[in-house]
Structure 1
Amino acid sequence: MSLSLTKMAVLTGYANTISLKEFAKNRLFLVTPAGMISGIPVFDEENSNPNIAVAQTVNSSALKAVSKAASAEEESPQTGESCEFILLKDARLETTSPVVNFPVLTVFCDQIIAVTLGTDLTNG
């Protein structure tokens, strides 16, 4: 298994854990070179929240375009089919400067250094 697939498998495992009753109040924390990103993973279609619906449509369109371009070049797609990003709602980016909040954020897995679950950064 490639490093990218291993990283995505571990990330998906942590993200899916939030759907368990015991972890419902947790957030997914991702350590990146830019800082700490936290949020709630979005896996299912969510049409009730326009921010999430737009992000899902954009991500889906991008994956289709990459797949189509790769098919035209007779190569296997290098992006998307191995799920190289994760969509987070209620996302936060914490760096040395003020915290930045996002209603929705697509995070590319190649930038993730570490992952964990927790309710906040101080007592995760």
Structure 2
Amino acid sequence: MSAIEVVPTKSQNGIKVLGLKTRAEKKEEFLKTEDCELVSRVKNIAVNAFMDLGARDFAQIDIKTNSYGHCFFMGANLLPDIKDESSYLVKAFEIEHGYSYNKIIEIIVDKGISRV
């Protein structure tokens, strides 16, 4: 499990928007979250969402945090993009755990095979 902050660049209007254009142009910044209490809250919400949805193996759980540190579940992607190193799931594991793309794929495959 990994918790990272995805920070979009500011638009021409000075607004931060994490939309398709920002993602396609790979303009967002990925940061490791250093606040242990915040990481714990985010991971707790993510685990609960994962379990409540009946997910298996892996998923991308999106959580937004406001300026007061309150965390909000935004959505879940049960089949997140993992086609290359630019995917959010892959970036999260690289940043938080130092895993290579191949190591992440190996973990996912091993998890699936263990159920067979």
TM-score under structure 1 length normalisation: 0.27
Higher strand share: 1
Greater relative contact order (Cα 8 A, min sep 6): structure 1 or 2? 1
